[in-house]
Structure 1
Amino acid sequence: MSALPSVDRFFGGFTVATCLSFILYGIVAVQVYEFILTCTKDPRLVKWVSVIVCVLETLQTSFLLHVLYHYLIRHFGDFEAAQQIVWTVPAAIATERAVVLVVQTYLLLRIWVLSNRSRVLVSFLTLLLAARIAVSIEFLYNYSHVHSWREAFNDHITYAMAVTTLVLGVVTDLALTMAFTYYLLRDRTGFHTTDSVLQSLVRFSVNTGGITFANSMVMLFTYVFVEDSLLSPGFISISSKLYANSFFAILNAGHKLRDRAALLSSYHTPGVQMRNLREMGRTTLRMGTPIDVGILQVQESDANQSQTVVIDGDELPFKISEKYDSSPERPNFGFSVEP
């Protein structure tokens, strides 16, 4: 780092990135509000993890506010004082690492379930995440013994630790996103409505994972190639908010998937009540395998409709309530209907 870089070059990028992270915190708040409205059926563990992520994000935002106040208000115009690292800078980085640990551990558990407990894949991803966290802890330990930005940029051990943890972050983000997306696509059911929600969940995963991956690349690039600037720490503040948004976006998308799946077992579905089909003794429904349903008799009245279907030779009468959706455009749920 040169002796006296300009103030706009040194703090400009950091200030803009930090203000952008405040905007992202507002988006996190909206995601949290939506989650609170729909989380009644979620496991207690998921609720506690959500609380932890929300608290960590609020703490980091408070630390970042203190950083801006310290450098831009209290020591405004005192560039020598601004060269010293205030304690809330490593505190903000530590909370960002904690958010990464919580969110990626949750994704790892989801992959563990989706992959039918694939030990090889999950062990590899766990090793990547553990290495990232271990190097981050070592980086923060060295960072706590550095008192100025000049020392932080010129200390070879701190520099090597920072580059290593950023590289591991890029690799871990890419690996988790690819694995999560692959198993979501693999578990398509063959029912149009469920698959459409799964595709939405895949889009959420790809978009949020791609954004966090791109941000990790930018952090690595700016730390290595942009000298005399705090732009890279600014992107670290953005990173935490991106992980939190990714976490709550996946949870909220999962709620929509659960609600849409519940509709499949209600009388709003055309032709067949899914709950009754699952309770049949002889008929076996496999994910992605369509079955033939032959409609033998239809009786309609103003109040209700009754039909009789034949599945594997069994006649199954059932009724469709007046809530039945008789719109002309009926989605295909994997059933081949023969008039």
Structure 2
Amino acid sequence: MSSSAQGLIPQLNVENTFGALFIGVTIAAVLFGLSCVQSFVYFQTHRDTGTTFYKLAVICLWILDALHLALIIHCVYYYLVSNYANVNALAEIVWSFKLQIVVEVFIIYGVHILYLQRIWILSRGQSRTLPIIVGIVTILNSGVAIALIWAIYQCQVFSDLVKMEWATFLTLGTITFADVVVASSLCYLLATSRTGFSSTNSLITKLMVYIINTGCLTSICSMVAVITCAIMPTNFIFLAIEFLLAKLYVNSFLALLNARHYTQVTTGTNNCYAFRNRHGVYRPELHIKASEYELQAHADDEAVHPSRSVKPQHSIAVTTEMNSFSSV
């Protein structure tokens, strides 16, 4: 038995080490399914727009997300299945574990660049100071990510990860700071874009809520990983949380892209509910009688004034109502 394995086995608890990794992979698979649904919704709502930059970005993010899931599954399969009862293999870091960190870095900073591009578009006609600051923060974070990758590839066994805690703290801390800067910048630009129309202001408010919620979700995940790594450095709970970080970033960006579709669905549903419950419980038989009464009134009016043409108001109302339902 190697010396690294001898140092690992006396304090090895499978539940909070490789068991935690297994739970992290399971939750990551669920989040990947959610990102697949969000990607499908985006392509369905933009199927008539042709090939665009954001469609290519969604495809690249989905491919990286799928690759990241495949790597972490291989990592857990290597330890729990391929090397079952092989104590020497438990102490070594498999190649897929190192590569999944590289893919995770590409996903996180790719999403930050996409957010930066949206900030640049929203700041059109205003001062460019804000997007420049966000761009500088993103570039500095990329340098920290390179340092993390270098530190991870210097590790050969899991006990070396404890010596590289500074890289984990520095990377996750800068990621959290970048999330706060990006979310604050987007909310500020949206808040300054308010108009005098209540419908536009309502849509902007909902977008701000989406941005704050998704930004808080990724920031909380990063901070939880830092805290668990500081409190429990000898187990793999913080690594299991890091497995979820890339999935949360992909879902947060896709949720922002689909935010307008979700808000339109909510608005259309509320309008339909309000229309049907304007006078209490909706009763179809009363609606039919009211329509017959209107048709009879139009017929009587046409008999009294034969020279005046009757406008198809009822047809227009029905058409408008059907169009509102088809847009949901």
Task: Tell whether the 8 Å contact from 1:31 to 1:245 is kept in structure 2 after alignment.
Answer: yes
Question: In structure 2, do the counterparts of structure 1 residues 260 and 162 end up closer, same or farther at CA, with 3 Å as the change threshold?
Answer: closer
Q: Decide which structure has greater strand share.
A: 1
Q: Distance in 1 between matches of 2:309 and 2:210?
A: 42
Structure 1 or 2, whichever has the larger Rg, is: 2
Instruction: Select which of 217, 220, 223 maps to 1:217.
Output: 223
- Superposition RMSD on alpha carbons, in Å? 2.8
Question: In structure 2, do the counterparts of structure 1 residues 324 and 145 end up closer, same or farther at CA, with 3 Å as the change threshold?
Answer: same
Q: How big is the shift at 1:215?
A: 0.5
Give the match's secondary structure for 2:17: helix
- 1:283 maps to none
Q: Distance in 2 between matches of 1:236 and 1:227?
A: 14
Give the match's secondary structure for 1:9: coil
Residue 110 (structure 2) pairs with residue 98 (structure 1):
no
Q: Distance in 2 between matches of 1:43 and 1:207?
A: 29
Question: In structure 2, do the counterparts of structure 1 residues 123 and 75 end up closer, same or farther at CA, with 3 Å as the change threshold?
Answer: same
Question: In structure 2, do the counterparts of structure 1 residues 195 and 79 end up closer, same or farther at CA, with 3 Å as the change threshold?
Answer: farther
Q: How big is the shift at 1:176?
A: 0.8
Instruction: Select which of 67, 85, 90 maps to 1:82.
Output: 90
- 2:64 maps to 56
Question: In structure 2, do the counterparts of structure 1 residues 17 and 300 end up closer, same or farther at CA, with 3 Å as the change threshold?
Answer: farther
Instruction: Select which of 137, 148, 152 maps to 1:143.
Output: 152
Question: In structure 2, do the counterparts of structure 1 residues 260 and 153 end up closer, same or farther at CA, with 3 Å as the change threshold?
Answer: closer
* Gap regions ≥5 residues in structure 1: 262-298, 306-319, 327-339
Residue 33 (structure 2) pairs with residue 26 (structure 1):
yes
Q: What does 1:324-335 align with in structure 2 at a 5 Å threshold?
A: none
Task: Tell whether the 8 Å contact from 1:188 to 1:198 is kept in structure 2 after alignment.
Answer: yes
Q: Decide which structure has greater helix share.
A: 2
Q: How big is the shift at 1:205?
A: 1.1
Scaled by the length of structure 2, the TM-score of the pair is 0.75
The one-letter code matched in structure 2 to 1:66 is: H
Task: Tell whether the 8 Å contact from 1:63 to 1:89 is kept in structure 2 after alignment.
Answer: yes
Instruction: Select which of 134, 137, 143 maps to 1:128.
Output: 137
Q: How big is the shift at 1:41?
A: 2.6
Q: Distance in 2 between matches of 1:107 and 1:190?
A: 27
Question: In structure 2, do the counterparts of structure 1 residues 210 and 200 end up closer, same or farther at CA, with 3 Å as the change threshold?
Answer: same
Q: How big is the shift at 1:5?
A: 2.4
Instruction: Select which of 240, 245, 248 maps to 2:246.
Output: 240
Q: What does 1:1-339 align with in structure 2 at a 5 Å threshold?
A: 4-39=11-46, 40-41=48-49, 44-116=52-124, 118-154=127-163, 158-255=164-261, 301-304=310-313
- 2:301 maps to none
Question: In structure 2, do the counterparts of structure 1 residues 63 and 138 end up closer, same or farther at CA, with 3 Å as the change threshold?
Answer: same
Q: Distance in 1 between matches of 2:171 and 2:216?
A: 18
* Gap regions ≥5 residues in structure 2: 1-6, 268-307, 322-328
Q: Distance in 2 between matches of 1:250 and 1:111?
A: 13
Scaled by the length of structure 1, the TM-score of the pair is 0.73
Q: Distance in 2 between matches of 1:120 and 1:211?
A: 27
Q: Which moved more, 1:189-198 or 1:138-147?
A: 189-198
Q: Distance in 1 between matches of 2:78 and 2:11?
A: 19
Q: Distance in 2 between matches of 1:132 and 1:110?
A: 18
The one-letter code matched in structure 1 to 2:161 is: A
Q: How big is the shift at 1:77?
A: 2.7
Q: Distance in 2 between matches of 1:301 and 1:210?
A: 58
- 1:333 maps to none
Q: How big is the shift at 1:33?
A: 0.8
Q: Distance in 2 between matches of 1:45 and 1:258?
A: 23
Amino-acid identity (%) = 24
The one-letter code matched in structure 2 to 1:32 is: S
Question: In structure 2, do the counterparts of structure 1 residues 186 and 119 end up closer, same or farther at CA, with 3 Å as the change threshold?
Answer: closer
Q: Distance in 2 between matches of 1:172 and 1:59?
A: 24
The one-letter code matched in structure 2 to 1:21 is: A
The one-letter code matched in structure 1 to 2:214 is: T
Give the number of equivalent residue pairs. 272
Task: Tell whether the 8 Å contact from 1:194 to 1:257 is kept in structure 2 after alignment.
Answer: no
Question: In structure 2, do the counterparts of structure 1 residues 227 and 79 end up closer, same or farther at CA, with 3 Å as the change threshold?
Answer: farther
